[in-house]
Amino acid sequence: MAETVDLLVCVTCRYRDERDPDPEAPRPGLLLAEALEGNLPPGVTLKRTECLSNCTRGCTVALRAPGAWTYVYGNLAPGQAEVLIDGAARYAAAPQGLIPWRERPEHLRKNCIARIPPLEA
């Protein structure tokens, strides 16, 4: 079980096709971060970040913790905060962040961009 988990949310993410109806409107990644603010499980910290370099796959986030695997997920939308809240709680509770595949929220099973070994590995 991780003592501290970071949920990094790219606040510069745009929609996949880059055709936002209003270029001055808040970016979807920023809206997702705002939806998560104050709603995360204990021990999970929201960290807004710029560009996770996954621009063609919608809103992108990463879950990381000391001594744990890091996961990068994409194709998220501002309305999917609950998926990330559930996933972050499961990640925090799992040894080394390794949530059994069948126990992951469906969106996270289908939209994993990368799995990165712990730095200590």
Residue 86 has a pLDDT of 98
* Residue among 104, 79, 84 at smallest CA distance from 6: 84
Residue 57 has a pLDDT of 84
Q: Per the CATH hierarchy, to which homologous superfamily does domain 5-116 belong?
A: Glutaredoxin (3.40.30.10)
What are residue 62's DSSP bridge partners? 8, 72
State residue 47 phi and psi, 5-degree precision. Answer: -125, 115
pLDDT at 75 over 60: yes
3-17 pLDDT, tens digit each:
799 999 999 877 655
Q: What percent of the chain has pLDDT over 70?
A: 89
- Rounded Cα distance between 4 and 42, Å, is 9
Domain spans in the chain, listed from the N-terminal domain onward: 5-116
pLDDT-derived band at 56 (thresholds 50, 70, 90) equals confident
Strands (E), 1-121: 5-10, 44-49, 59-64, 70-76, 112-116
